[in-house]
Amino acid sequence: MTSSKLKMGMVGGGQGAFIGDVHRLSARLDGQIELVAGAFSRDAENSASTGRLLGLDPSRCYADFEQMMMAEAALPVESRMDFVAIVTPNHMHFPVAKAALEAGFHVLSDKPATLNLAEAIALRDIVEGSGKRFALTHTYLGYPLVGVARDLVARGEIGRVRKVFVEYIQGWLASEVDNKQAAWRSDPARSGPSGCMGDIGTHAHNLAEYVTGKQMTHVAADLSVFVPGRALDDDGSALFRMEDGIKGVLSASQVCVGKENSLSIRVYGETGGLEWHQEEPNTLLRTYADRPAEIIRSAQGYLPAFAADGYRTPPGHPEGYLEAFANVYLDFVQSIQEGRDVATGMAGAVRGMAFVEALVASSNNDSAWTEIDA
């Protein structure tokens, strides 16, 4: 291990937690991060055994996150962790991030940032007072062609944007599911005010804002619970308005039988359109009013430099979710090293929670238009 690597601590992600391995694989893909510590589970033995499997120093596998922050902060600067990755259910995001920031550590957190908007606003104040970096793992912004789409829109290549369609549909909760991942996502105390929309609708919201470069301002939403006994929405749709008069439709569902992780976006301007699908991430479709459609492919020499930097293999070698996740980590590392903000920082985190609460309020008010008040 070289001293130039940033040292990472992790909260959550113990044995049995899918997302922990995703984070660890992605963090080490480019050789710039070293996992040195963790409080991997509320179960002290799970945390310790996870650390053993990962080959960590047993003295740096902690029983809880409070102990971890205190112990790591007491270590010499050259030894202690530089940042904390939070990979817990939503209700733990705020207390862990608060403890980490106040102990002097940067934070990379799974989304949404907090359990509710009030916590997000409080966290924003903590981040601003800490001088530390904060980012969310909005993984899909790590796909280089998403950045190309954003660049084309920003340069006016499709004209002024008029219409956006964005959706994220899955089928894994189409019936009652008895596992750890489903349990916390359908529990208001751990997930927050929304289930499906809080879990994957926030990805669709984030993608729409990122590609267009505009903020969503109002929603008219209809949230549903299709599986009897479920406490939170498992499906929802919303009309939305954005800055500059852009109109759109957002759908998110976890009850579409047979669908896996079908996130997609279509953006239409005055002179052209763009279309991207997460399950086929190496292709961006560009349409014109006066000529045939154009297929833009990944890792090609004609792509702008910022996109080329996000690829690790030659054209025709499919890259996907782990590589996109690794790009989020890489951007976060560079933000720490260069002292700059990231695309998925605190401002977007607050907007994401405001979006969720506006959806719930609208749906509870017969789908009335509701302002997203961040």
Q: What is the structure's pLDDT at 2?
A: 41
- 95 CA to centre of own chain: 18
Strands lying side by side in the sheet with 134-136: 33-39, 6-12, 83-87, 106-109, 134-136
Q: 2-16, 43-57, 80-94, 321-335 — which is least confidently predicted? A: 2-16
Q: What is the structure's pLDDT at 130?
A: 96
β-bridge mates for residue 50, sequence order: none
- Alpha-carbon span 123 to 125, nearest angstrom: 5
Q: 24-33, 89-98, 339-348 — which is least confidently predicted? A: 339-348
Is the per-residue pLDDT at 236 higher than 70? yes
How large is the angle between the packed helices 202-212 and 346-364, nearest 10 degrees? 120
Q: CB–CB of 265/278 below 8 Å? A: no
Mean pLDDT of 153-174: 98
- Alpha-carbon span 294 to 286, nearest angstrom: 5
Is the per-residue pLDDT at 242 higher than 70? yes
The CATH architecture annotation of domain 140-364 reads: 2-Layer Sandwich (3.30)
> What's the mean per-residue pLDDT of the chain?
95
Report pLDDT digits (tens) over 262-287: 999 999 999 999 999 999 999 999 99
Is the per-residue pLDDT at 1 higher than 80? no
- Alpha-carbon span 244 to 226, nearest angstrom: 35
The residue type at 37: A
Domain ranges of the chain: 140-364
- Alpha-carbon span 294 to 285, nearest angstrom: 6
Is the per-residue pLDDT at 297 higher than 70? yes
Report pLDDT digits (tens) over 126-157: 999 999 999 999 999 999 999 999 999 999 99
Q: What percent of the chain has pLDDT over 70?
A: 99
What's the Cα-to-Cα distance from 32 to each of 20, 110, 333, 337, rounded to whole Å?
A: 18, 20, 8, 11
| Strands 247-253, 272-277: pairing kind | unpaired
Tokens of 215: 């903020």
Report pLDDT digits (tens) over 184-200: 888 999 999 999 999 99
- 149 CA to centre of own chain: 18
- Alpha-carbon span 97 to 103, nearest angstrom: 10
Q: How does DSSP classify residue 34?
A: E
Q: CB–CB of 223/230 below 8 Å? A: no
pTM of the model: 0.95
Q: What is the structure's pLDDT at 178?
A: 79
